[in-house]
Structures are given as C-alpha cells and as structure tokens.
Structure 1
Amino acid sequence: MAVNEFSRKGLHRATRVLSGYVQRGVLPGLVAAFARGDSTQIEVHGRQDLDRGESMRADSIFRISSMSKPITAVAALMLVEDCVLGLDDPVDDFLPELADRRVLKRPGGPLDETVPAERPITLRDLLTFRAGFGGTWDPDWPVTAAAIERGVAPQPPRLTPKPAPATDLYLRRLGELPLVHQPGEAWLYHTGIAVAGALIARASGQGLGDFLRERIFEPLGMDDTGFHVPADKLDRFTTLYTADRETKALTVADPAEDGKWTADPLFPDGGGDLVSTIDDYLVFARMLLGGGRYSGTRLLSRPLVELMTSDQLTPENKARGGLQPGMWDAHGWGMGLRVTTRKTGFASVGQYGWNGGLGSMWFNDPEENLVGILLTPRMWDSPAPPRVAQDFETCVYAALQN
C-alpha cells in the first residue's frame, strides 16, 4: 500500500491558496503538481480562456518558455554520452560562424573596439551561460542595439515584432557581433542554450524538434511537448495573458487559436519555445530526480545528471552577471538550471530547477525526493518569481507528512 507523503491539512491549504489567485483575478487559471514517492497531488483551477470560458484541464497545454532550457541541456548531454560532442571541445567544427571571436574591450564600448578571444567557445560554455553572449546587457550599450536590430537579442519567445531568423541566419548574425566577455568569464542569460540547440541540430544531422522527439519525448511518453501545438490539440491550448502594470487587468498576449504557437518557428529556440503539460513535465522532472532514469528508460547516466544539477559557476562569473540583485546569494547555476547552494528557506541545498517567464516554475529537491511544478497562462512581471510562485513552493514543502 502506497504511503501518503502529504498531509491532509497541507493539501487543503495548497488548494485554498492556489485557487485564491484565480478567484481574485490574479491568474486566469493554473495547473500545479507536487510529487514525492508514490504520492502525487494535481491542482487544476480556473480557465484556459477567459472570453470563451473554457475550464482549465489537467491536460491543458502551456507555453513553458525557459523551462525548455533543462530539456535542451539534457539533449546536448546525450550527445556527449554518444561521443558526438565533448563538453570542452570547441564548437567551431559544427558552428563555424562562432569561430575566431572578437571580444569588446569593455562591455558597453563601441563595436569596433575589440581584442581577440583568448580561447574558443565550448559546449560547457553554452550550457553554463558563459559563452560571452547573452542577456543582462545594458539597454544603452551599442551591442544591445545591434543584437536587437539583427533579431538575436534574448527576448520573450515569439512575442516581439521582430522574431529570430532561421537557424543559419541567426548564427551568422550572432557571429557578426563581438562577445561582451571572454569565454568562461561571465554568466549571461539565455543565448548560450539557444545556440546549444543549433549545435544539437548540426551535430545530430536532424532538426532540434526531431531530435528532442526521438531521444527524449517519445521514450518518456511526453506526447504533448514540442515546438508547436497541432490543430487537433488546440482545444487544450491555453490563451496567454499579460497584466497591465498599473491596473493589473489581464489582456491577451497570444491567443490559443491563430497564435504564435500554431506552427514551428523559423528558429526553434531550445531555451524558450517549447509547450508542454503538467504530466509531461512531471515525467521529465522524475527522470532527472531518478538520476537519468524513469520507469525503466534511461536517458542519461547518473554522473552527468549530477554534473548538470551542480553549481558550475565561479565567484567571478557570478560577480559579472545575474538577472537581479542577490540572485547568487544562495544559488548557483548548473547546465540550463539554477541550483540552491545555501539553505535560506524551505529548499534543501541541492534543490534545482528554473522558472519560465511566460508563467511557469519547476523545482526538484533530491534530498526530499520532491518535485514541484506550476503552470499558468499569465506572463510573469519581472525576472524575480511572483508571489504565487513563492506561495506554491511554500505549500509544497509545508504539505510534507514528515
């Protein structure tokens, strides 16, 4: 007989707290899951679309944005285990557009004031966001304007007027820009994992979506995860909302039908473009919690999962980059995900996971054998987790039976 890992009181509290966000109009709806051992709690509240009044479902499909990053990291590490890629090999052979890099003399300086890169970019650099390019650029820097003009700046997935170009053109345009920092020197958000997706495609000889489907999604039974939502599944796809900063009124950012996810993008960004469901992502999370194995299917070896989910940054890397002040006070960065390095709240040291700016969050806590996933169809207002994400994490830990 399965042991109930969560208390009745804790489950009732989670239902009350999460449903409250929907009742107060903060969120259109949500689907959440937390799991430990044989116990899994699924919460479903609100609506997929406010105008049509469609109820949220346990199998509703969400834009998971940056929760795509760990999936792409796993795919890249699978090619390492296949001996197709090496973590510390230069990416030049597969990505010649990024060979012979120039680096800005100072991050905010003119684009023509550069020095040679001290070494080539490696796969490890891409996965740990230390390749020398990426987000957290100052908006007034010349390199920022140049990246935006070329369509290669980090941006909300598919929601800007100038989407990323097709993969080959994306790489060529990115390669035209100097690096902001020397490879390995600083943590800069997002672009490394987007480039890793292109590297996976070229190294494997197939599209990134095909590789993910054949090597990860089909083996794990993640049937609703991919780069677009097919027509026969649009009835389960959530409308994406954003909130007015002053009035907090919800407005449509991307409709479910005739929106940006009804077809594959020109550039499939492995750092932010995937859609998924609570059940699909729960399987992926459990695979990582199981050291690369789930229900008899092994995707990665335990040592590589341990590497992926451990802090890879130096103090110097953290001093030069971050999404908001204090980001590294109790955390580090592994490969495509954040890692807890100091216990300051409920999370154990070693907890890992990441959030999606289009309204999602996920964490695994190996010490507690615990998974938490929250999916909503409302964009977050800032890089810092919103109150609902904080309350969700609190409810998950507070519901533990022992």
Structure 2
Amino acid sequence: MCEQLTDLKRLLIHKKLSNFDCDKLVRLGEFISKEYVPKYFPGFSVSIYEDNKESYYFQSKYLDKDQRRTFSKDSIFRIFSMTKPIVSAAAMQLHEKGKFNLDDPVSKFIPEWNDIKVYKSGSNGTFQVEKPKRNMQMTDLFTHTAGLTYGLQKQTPVDKEYVQIGIENVVDSRGPNGALSSDEIINLLSDIPLEFSPGDHYNYSLSIDILGFIIERISGSSLEDYLNNNIFNPLGMDDTSFYLNKEKRNRFAPIYRWNIEKDAYEKLVKNKNSKIKDIDFLNKPACFSGGGGLLSTIGDYQKFGSELLNSKLGKSNLLVSEDTADLMMSNHLPNNLDMTQLSKFPLAGEEYYKGIGYGLGGSIVIDPAINPNNSFEGDFGWGGAASTLFFISPINGFSVVFMTQVLESEETRRLSKDIRTIIRGSLI
C-alpha cells in the first residue's frame, strides 16, 4: 500500500502488485495539503483501491477549522449526491430480477403522474402547459432527462414552484405541516409541470429520489431497509446510513459553507433562523432521500466503489452482474450526446463536462480528448454537494474516493482535475 511513508521495501513490494508508481503517487496528498488546506478545506482524506485492496490512503490531521478534531478513517461524512450511484445500483438489482424494464413508463409505478404535463409559459404557480411528446420512462430518472428539476437551482419558474411547495431538495423537504413523506412529495409534484418533455434535455434533478420511492413501491420495503439488506450488509458497509445513532455522533464531521464575500468557509449551524444551516441527520427522516440522504465513511464508500468496479470487470456479482455494470456505465443520453450538448440550461463549470455523458446513476467519460480533467474513457462516478468525490476507472482497474465537508466551494471542479492529473501521472 502506498502511504505517506518511506518504507522502501514495502513500496518496492507494492510496485510489483500495483498499477501505480508509489514514488509519484505519494505526491497526491502532499499536493492537496499544500494547494487546498487550510485555504479551501479544513482537511480531507483520499483513498485509492485496486482489486478490493487499498493501494493509497492519505488524511489531513484535522477535520475542523479550529483544529480541535482529528481526522480518522472512521470519520462520518454527508455524501449528499454520492447517494445517487448507490441507489441507482439498488434499482438495477430490481431490474436484474425483472421487476421493471428501462423503457417502462414511470406512471406504471407512480400512477399519480399518469397525466403530468410540460411547462409552456407562466410564473408564480400560474402555468400554461402542454402534453409531453412521450411518456417519462425509467431510464429518464437514472439520467436526469425526465423533465424534473431541483428547486435549489432557482433558475426557472418551475424551480421556484418546487421551493414554494417545500421541495427545494428531498433531503430537507418541508411542507406547512412539517417534513414531507414520499407519497406527499409525489402528490405535490403531480401538480407541477415538467421543465421539458422527457428525453429532450438533460437537467440535474431529484429524479434519483423518485427512483428511490419506486424502489420502495416495487420491493415493499423502505429504502433504508432495502439498502441495508441488499447493499450495506452484504458489502460490510456498517457506517453508511440515512441518520446517526447516538454511539456514532462523535465521529460526525463538521460541515462548512464557502462564503464568496468573505473568501473563506464558515461553519453551518442548526439554528433554523440562520441563512445557512445544517440539515438534521441525527433523527430518522420522514422519507429517505435516494438523491442525497446518505452518510458514509471513506472506507465504506470504497467498499461500494470497488465492488461496482469488480462487477464491471467480471470479478464479482455480489452487487450487480457484469452485464448490469456494463449497462450502468454506458452513455444513455440520446444520440450519445454529452451533458453540455443535451443540457436545457447552462451548467456551472460547463467546460469540465465536455465529453462526459450520463450512465445509469453517474457520469461517464465518452470523449476524453475534449474533456479537460485528464480522465480516461469509461471513467464513471459522481460527487457530492460538500465537495466529496468518487470515480472508478475500469480501464485501469482502480477506484477513488475523496472526502471533505465544504458546501458551495468553487474549487471542487479544479480539485477533481488535480486529483485525476496526479493519479494519471502516477500510473506505470
């Protein structure tokens, strides 16, 4: 294993077993520490796995800005949208069992949406609508081509209507009478038009949350129970959950938010009257967010990432089969377009998404020649709102997980490029 150590004998032994030159790879943690800590992040950890074994690991000394809490491998992080690949894999387990087809209409499982319409014009809840060109299909949920949106994006009249009804995001959705259940969210969304006809465009959205609700309806279990029984327990992901029990709360990483005016990050608080506040992960939620609700450790997420990689390489079917992994890690955007070509609205950091398509629950590199990230063709992964990152590189046989806790950081995309550049330069 490549660590920040100088045990030459161990490094030489590892070189015979790994795709990496350890003398080059050890620069990864050193570079991020020098370039990003403490200016942009209070601390971080990064891990690389090959063949279900840890090839490289580095962690900062401190978790927090005040340098009172030290990093640990079992520190627990809010992974937000890194929940999406896990829930997508869970859905594909049901697909393997013949519970749904990718071209099935979503209304087969959500009849409340049988007559859903598409936005044409209007604002403030008064909309002119039209019929969609085609039905919303299950594939559209995986690929964010369903016509759904996120209220937190606040770009359009439809976005604003999501906020108005309390669904800025599903992790923290609240109506006038409190937290919303999955059925309440589905019913509320049935009255709001889609941004566009399904399949016409890409628009990042709460569609994987809807996929999670469908998992519950198909399986007859809560999303929490389904994931525990079919992914977390089989893979030994003992510290991955939707909320923390009391015994684990001392391992919960503090979270920060980047303040553009101050050019610094500041700690989130639980005061509901504050403009910035932490989401409650200490109590069981009213519904389980398949798009952003999970907590995990770097080791637990590597168990998922490396197992998904093993499925892709035909080494294991514990998570999904090789055929299913191939299906997940193929571009499902129409006409093999990338995200920038199909996006309905401008993407933040658009240049970083050139040459990147979307598979079933994560991004997929389809043209590395036009992508600035130093990625390889077939790289699959996604990130989380608090600057976390995950990707696997099937062509090279490794998986990468990066953990920190800073929301709205402008440095996340640059960091992703730097990580990939150093890793690529360390390959033998």
Shift of 1:112: 3.2
Q: Closer, same or farther in 2 for the Cα pair 1:94/1:160, shift >3 Å?
A: closer
The equivalent of 2:375 in structure 1 is 347
The whole-number CA distance in structure 2 between the counterparts of 1:137 and 1:187 is 16
Alignment of 1:170-185 (within 5 A): 170-185=185-200
Q: Aligned letter for 2:374?
A: F
The equivalent of 1:53 in structure 2 is 68
The equivalent of 2:420 in structure 1 is 393
Shift of 1:295: 8.1
Which of 143, 156, 169 does residue 184 from structure 2 map onto? 169
The equivalent of 1:271 in structure 2 is 291
The equivalent of 2:6 in structure 1 is none
Deviations 1:237-268 (A, max 9, x none): 1000112213233321257xx96111222231
Which of 368, 371, 374 does residue 396 from structure 2 map onto? 368
Q: Which 4+ runs in 1 deviate beyond 4 A? A: 106-111, 159-164, 292-297
Which of 213, 218, 223 does residue 203 from structure 1 map onto? 218
What TM-score, normalized to structure 2? 0.84
Deviations 1:327-380 (A, max 9, x none): 542111111111111123531111111111112011111111121111001124
The equivalent of 1:187 in structure 2 is 202
Q: What percent identity do the matched residue pairs reach?
A: 28
Deviations 1:262-286 (A, max 9, x none): 1222231111111111111111111
- SS of equivalent to 2:243: coil
Alpha carbons 2:44, 2:60 under 8 Å: kept: yes
Deviations 1:291-345 (A, max 9, x none): 2689865221211111111111124971535533345421111111111111235
Shift of 1:65: 0.8
Q: Closer, same or farther in 2 for the Cα pair 1:295/1:264, shift >3 Å?
A: farther
Matched, 1:113 2:128: yes
Which of 89, 92, 103 does residue 88 from structure 1 map onto? 103
The whole-number CA distance in structure 1 between the counterparts of 2:173 and 2:129 is 32
Matched, 1:15 2:49: no
The equivalent of 1:310 in structure 2 is 330
The whole-number CA distance in structure 2 between the counterparts of 1:138 and 1:22 is 26
What TM-score, normalized to structure 1? 0.90
Alpha carbons 1:107, 1:180 under 8 Å: kept: no
Matched, 1:131 2:159: no
The equivalent of 2:86 in structure 1 is 71
Q: Which region of structure 1 is more displaced relative to structure 2, 135-144 or 79-88?
A: 135-144
Matched, 1:32 2:15: no
The whole-number CA distance in structure 2 between the counterparts of 1:378 and 1:231 is 24
Deviations 1:160-195 (A, max 9, x none): 999862211111111110111112211111211111
The whole-number CA distance in structure 1 between the counterparts of 2:215 and 2:50 is 33
Q: Aligned letter for 2:356?
A: H
The equivalent of 1:158 in structure 2 is 172
Q: Closer, same or farther in 2 for the Cα pair 1:140/1:220, shift >3 Å?
A: closer
- SS of equivalent to 1:176: coil
Which of 317, 339, 347 does residue 323 from structure 1 map onto? 347
Shift of 1:28: 1.3
Root mean square deviation, CA, Å? 2.8
Q: Aligned letter for 2:46?
A: A
Deviations 1:203-243 (A, max 9, x none): 11111111111111101111111111211011211000112
Matched, 1:142 2:157: yes
The equivalent of 2:248 in structure 1 is 233
Q: Aligned letter for 1:79?
A: L
Shift of 1:84: 1.6
Alpha carbons 2:76, 2:297 under 8 Å: kept: yes
Matched, 1:42 2:57: yes
Alpha carbons 1:201, 1:208 under 8 Å: kept: yes
Shift of 1:35: 2.4
Alpha carbons 1:292, 1:298 under 8 Å: kept: no
Shift of 1:21: 4.7
The whole-number CA distance in structure 1 between the counterparts of 2:287 and 2:65 is 30
The whole-number CA distance in structure 2 between the counterparts of 1:322 and 1:127 is 20
The equivalent of 1:337 in structure 2 is 362
Q: Which region of structure 1 is more displaced relative to structure 2, 179-188 or 138-147?
A: 138-147
Alpha carbons 1:67, 1:272 under 8 Å: kept: yes
Consecutive unaligned residues in structure 1, runs of 5 or more: none
Count matched residues. 397
Consecutive unaligned residues in structure 2, runs of 5 or more: 1-12, 271-277
Q: Which region of structure 1 is more displaced relative to structure 2, 90-99 or 192-201?
A: 90-99
Deviations 1:113-142 (A, max 9, x none): 111223332211111111111149974633
Q: Closer, same or farther in 2 for the Cα pair 1:220/1:254, shift >3 Å?
A: farther
- SS of equivalent to 2:412: coil
Alpha carbons 2:150, 2:162 under 8 Å: kept: no
Q: Which region of structure 1 is more displaced relative to structure 2, 80-89 or 67-76?
A: 80-89
- SS of equivalent to 1:197: helix
Q: Which region of structure 1 is more displaced relative to structure 2, 91-100 or 162-171?
A: 162-171
Alignment of 1:230-309 (within 5 A): 230-254=245-269, 260-291=280-311, 298-309=318-329
Deviations 1:50-77 (A, max 9, x none): 4471101011111111111101111111
- SS of equivalent to 1:148: helix
Alpha carbons 2:243, 2:294 under 8 Å: kept: yes
Q: Closer, same or farther in 2 for the Cα pair 1:298/1:292, shift >3 Å?
A: farther
The whole-number CA distance in structure 2 between the counterparts of 1:226 and 1:213 is 8
